[in-house]
Amino acid sequence: MSEVKISAELRMEFGKGGARRTRRAGKVPAVLYGHGEKPRHIALPARELAAAIRHGGMTQVFNIEISDGSTALALPKAIQRDPIKDTFEHVDLLIVRRGERIMVEVRVQLVGEAAGGTLVTHERATLPVLADPTRLPDRLEVSIAGLEAGSQVTAADVALPSGIALATDPGVSIAIVHAAPTAAQMAGESPVDEIDSEVIDV
């Protein structure tokens, strides 16, 4: 995935009041840390940040140009969102280095359609991988095309791009294909055997 260049300003105000003023100015409060460096409090342009993360998610690498003249390569580590507006309230950014291998959770996307008369349960939405941060994919794809009921897709079935290594048990379940319920099962009904009865006059 390509890096996104983004400008940042050093924040001099802290606390809730300072964060609110930063957001009113169209910026997102953030903290930049990692590699033994002292955490730096910065502000990022809200629209540019949101657009980049919508595209690349938590594997989007940012090349940050800070107002003091320094630069940093970083990945989103945690994002706080406004539950009503769905805007970014705060972002934690982890400093990374080109050429190092880091462990990151990458989302898994199921592609294709399983066989007719089946339902697919997506067991795991992400997988941990080891990779150079500048070569992280935005998603991993695994095919479920034509799979019959009773089939299982595991981490070992996921096609990994060159330079990417799985960082979990290959047997971890990604998806399971089930037989679709019948109309009677969906209605909560079950077949009832007819029972012959004898009426006795007394």
Indicate whether this model's pTM tops 0.75. yes
Q: CA–CA separation, 74 vs 63, rounded Å?
A: 7
Give kind and range of the element (H or E) at residue 141.
strand 140-143
pLDDT of 198 above 70: no
CATH classification for the domain delimited by 4-95, as one of 3.40.50.960, 2.40.240.10, 2.60.40.60, 2.70.70.10: 2.40.240.10
- Exposure string over 66-89, b if 16+ CB within 10 A, otherwise e: eeeeeebbbbbbebeeeeeeeebe
CATH classification for the domain delimited by 102-186, as one of 3.40.50.360, 1.10.10.10, 2.170.120.20, 3.40.1190.20: 2.170.120.20
Residue 179 pLDDT grade (very low, low, confident, very high; cuts 50, 70, 90): very high
3-state secondary structure of 52: helix
Residue 1 pLDDT grade (very low, low, confident, very high; cuts 50, 70, 90): low
Q: Tell me where in the chain the CATH 2.40.240.10 domain(s) lie.
A: 4-95
Q: Tell me where in the chain the CATH 2.170.120.20 domain(s) lie.
A: 102-186
